[in-house]
Amino acid sequence: MRINVILGCIAVIFLSACAKSRIKEHSEWKKYFEDKGIKNACFELRDNNHESIHFYNRDRCSERMLPASTFKIFISLVALELAVAPDDQLVIKWDSVQRRPEWDKDMNLREALKVSSEPYFKELIRRIGPAKMQHFLDTVKYGNMQMSGKLDEVWTNNSLQVTPDEELGMLKKMYFFELPFAERTQRIVKTMMLQEETPAYNLYYKTGTGKVNDKYIYWIVGFAEKIEHVKEPEGSMNKSDFRNYPFFFAQNFEMPVADTSKDWFKVRLEILHDILKDYGAIPK
């Protein structure tokens, strides 16, 4: 009996050590932000192949804040699931109000997500309605699951909040068709997020920018697929010699509204590439 207890304690200690070894804080990633003058930032990466999680500023990765336009991923899932958008070709007519050249036209869901069209998604969420949106927020347990104020402003009015860690977790589930949506729904949204397609990797992401008091919060969330050639043995069930290895990420930083010293929209993408290359998720 005593021996079993001792062996059990050893097993617990061993498993605990293994669990800790799968979580790593990367203080060296700080340079990618501070070199650009960014002080308040975080980055989380999940290496699914090694079942490991990597952080820069783990505390901020666990802090809830407005999702901004990253929430358009969720709106797209709900719209497709309910057939409010029968597919990614649902066209919503331009209301003739001039806002941005890339928004000022009729467009379908796939095009709207690419350019993050505010008028398109405002109309789409109005068609879904508050009751059904709340149902899916509760079912998925997205962030704090709270909506107040105008329905078509919940992703920017700071009522709905989510952590970078929760964003990453949702995208991982979507990638493996584990969300409470049909597989078709999740597959369509995944393909809509594809932004970079190369022989060595595919990069899927959605950006978001939201204002809170005197600062902007800049998001970028998604996943990279590293493409590697693997020689399959004769008779293998796998018919392709190419394998896609996924890496999930969530990046977030804030800057004063008054700071226009850099193109922060461009900077967030540069930092994403730098860290993914640093880790080896995409080639250097």
Residues designated catalytic: 69
3-state secondary structure 5-33: HHHHHHHHHHHHHHHHHCEEECHHHHHHH
Cα-Cα-Cα-Cα torsion 115, 119, 120, 125, nearest 10 degrees, comes to 130
Diameter of the chain by CA atoms?
Answer: 78
Instruction: State the helix-helix crossing angle for 118-128 and 71-81, rounded to 10 degrees.
Output: 40
Give the separation between CA 144 and CA 163, rounded to whole angstroms. Answer: 9
Distances (CA, A) of 167 to 43, 207, 241, 246, 251: 12, 12, 32, 16, 10
Q: Which of 75, 100, 94 is nearest to 192 (CA)?
A: 75
Q: How many whole angstroms separate alpha carbon 235 and alpha carbon 216?
A: 55
Q: Is the CB of residue 153 less than 8 Å from the CB of residue 71?
A: no
Q: How far is CA 239 from the centre of its chain?
A: 30
The half-sphere exposure of 247 on its side-chain side, counting CA atoms within 13 A, is 25
Q: H helices then E strands: how many in the chain?
A: 10, 9
Instruction: Report long-range pairs for 85-89 (Cβ below 8 Å, ≥24 apart).
Output: 85/109, 85/124, 87/188, 88/188, 88/191, 88/192
